[in-house]
Amino acid sequence: MRILILGGDGYLGWPTAMFLSVRGHDVCIVDNLSKRLWEAKIGVAPLFHLPTLQRRVRVWNEQTSRPISMRVGDVAVNHRFIYRVFEEFRPDGIVHFAEQPSAPFSMDSREHAYETQSNNILGTLNLLFAMRAFVPDAHLVKLGTMGEYGTPTVDIEEGWLELEHNGRRDRVPYPKRPGSFYHASKVADSVNIEFACRSWGIRATDLNQGVVYGTDTDETLRSELHTSFHYDEVFGTVLNRFVVQAVVGIPLTVYGRGGQTRGFLDIRDTLRCVELALSKPADAGEFRVFNQFTEQFSVMDLAGFVQRAGRQCGLDVKIDHVPNPRVEKEDHYYNAWPTALASLGLQPHLLTDETVAGMIRRVQAVRDHVDTNVIYPTIKWRQETPMHAGLR
């Protein structure tokens, strides 16, 4: 299959590209590399020194018989670039990771909220038009987020809801209450994609992904081919951040009471889920939604995993309940259904103390790289962050 990976320089995009290449697919990466700029602007860096994308692709192509190709360009700003890529590469499947992926980034200032929504919504819009123009029968696999749903007091279904209301029935998009301008951008994407499926007959799978954790996949363990692992308050997901805090001996920053419950998955399962979605494309005109996670945990559950795994590794891990910078419920009902991917055959890597201990040992090897100044939450949902605020 010819697979275009948008956002192939990222934490998930790069391992996905290698994973699909190994499995015999013809992979082309597109990235505008803007995540590297965003990192620089807010003063954070991945834990492992990250070679350029060009370097990683070169190393991969020297080591394997399945070369990956790459193009640098901006899907949201330059539609002619992405039209050209579609015209030349003619993908059968498009995996779309090319979005600003951080909720705190989108909440630190007007400037970054604007950049997030502009990049994500308009990039996806250009992509839909490129698909219609050149590969109307291709399959879009779009990374959404479980955070689109918010935390309703009713069960969360997979994208659609069988609604009964005043004695009548309909199948409707599941109602959404996103928790940041980042999450809101993903809601807008889903609306646009559902409309394009309905109106143009596009095939799409929206993967509403939970919070991903993990340092490595089989492919990233090779020299120079690791991925962009973040532990900072902006781009670091919660378990990754906790593991780094445990290693450097600062208390885990649990936001508020820590009863916030979400769906989680191992980075290796992200790759497998994308492959499963590609292997059974949505029908023409179908907007298919999968909830992509394997287990539900509260933040305090995760802190417990890190404490226990820390003890195995000789670490005394403390927990600090810091004032919650976000606007979110800290104790709530949460029951979501991730059944579709299981029915396609997903064999999940469930979270164990051993998984976390493995992450801890991996991070211990590069302990000196950690910048402890970028972990504590400074970006608050209710007020502008002076450091990142744009000029008025």
What residues are labeled active site?
A: 145, 182, 186
> Contact, 210 vs 290, CB < 8 A?
no
CB of 383 vs a copy of itself, minimal distance in Å: 9
Among 153, 223, 343, 347, binds a copy of itself (CB under 8 A): 153
Contact call for residues 358 and 245 (beta carbons, < 8 A): no
221: which DSSP letter? Answer: G
Identity of the residue, 152 or 304, whose beta carbon is nearer to a copy of itself in the bound complex: 152
**Do the beta carbons of residue 153 and residue 300 sit within 8 Å?**
no
Q: How far is the CB of 199 from a copy of itself (least distance, A)?
A: 4
Q: Whose Cβ is closer to a copy of itself: residue 37's or residue 163's?
A: 163
Residue from 3, 18, 47, 113 in contact with a copy of itself (CB under 8 A): 113
Q: How far is the CB of 154 from a copy of itself (least distance, A)?
A: 4
Contacts of 330 (CB under 8 A, 6+ apart): 255, 256, 257, 258, 259, 260, 324
Interacting residue with a copy of itself among 100, 102, 119, 180 (CB under 8 A): 180
Minimum distance of a copy of itself from residue 259's CB (angstroms) = 18
- Of 10-18, 138-146, 151-159, 310-318, the segment contacting a copy of itself by CB under 8 A is 151-159
Residue 173 CB, nearest distance to a copy of itself (Å)? 5
Nearer to a copy of itself, 126 or 298 (CB): 126
Shortest distance, position 167 Cβ to a copy of itself, whole Å: 9
Query: Pairing between strand 139-145 and 26-31?
Result: unpaired
Structure tokens at 214: 């993990």
User: What angle, 0 to 180 degrees and rounded to 10, lies between the N-to-C axes of helices 299-312 and 238-248?
Assistant: 40
Best CA proximity match to 388, nearest among 177, 179, 48, 116: 116
Neighbours of 202 (CB within 10 A): 25
Question: Which residues, 332 to 391, sit near a copy of itself by CB under 8 A?
Answer: 333, 381-382, 384, 390-391
Q: What is the DSSP letter of 323?
A: P
Applying CB under 8 A, among 152, 251, 259, 304 the residue interacting with a copy of itself is 152
**Applying CB under 8 A, does 122 fall inside the site for a copy of itself?**
yes
**E strands of 32-130, at which residues?**
69-72, 93-96
Binding residue (CB under 8 A) for a copy of itself from 33, 59, 161, 366: 161
Binding marks (x or -) toward a copy of itself, 281..310, rule CB under 8 A? ------------------------------
DSSP lists the bridge partners of residue 389 as none
Please count the helices (runs of H) and the strands (runs of E) in the chain. 13, 14
Say which residues have a Cβ less than 8 Å from residue 118's Cβ, sequence separation at least 6.
76
Q: Give the total of residues touching a copy of itself (CB under 8 A).
A: 55
Pairs from 171-174 (Cβ < 8 Å, separation ≥ 24): 174/149, 174/289
Q: Are 75 and 6 in contact (CB under 8 A)?
A: yes
Interface residues for a copy of itself in 183-202 (CB under 8 A)? Answer: 184, 187-188, 191-192, 194-195, 198-200
Q: Could you give the count of Cα atoms lying within 13 Å of 366 in the half-sphere of its Cβ?
A: 16
Site for a copy of itself in 320-339 (CB under 8 A): 327, 333
Q: Which is nearer to a copy of itself, 166 or 223 (CB)?
A: 166
Residue (66 or 380) nearer to a copy of itself, CB: 380
Rounded to an integer, what is the distance from CA 332 to the centroid of its chain? 23
From the CB of 165, what's the least distance to a copy of itself, in Å? 4
**Of residues 69-98, those binding a copy of itself (CB under 8 A):** 79-80, 83
What tokens does 80 get?
Answer: 């002619």
Residue with tokens 């001996």: 249
* Contact footprint for a copy of itself (CB under 8 A): 79-80, 83, 110, 113-114, 117-118, 121-122, 125-126, 129, 132-133, 152-155, 161, 163-166, 168-170, 172-181, 184, 187-188, 191-192, 194-195, 198-200, 327, 333, 381-382, 384, 390-392
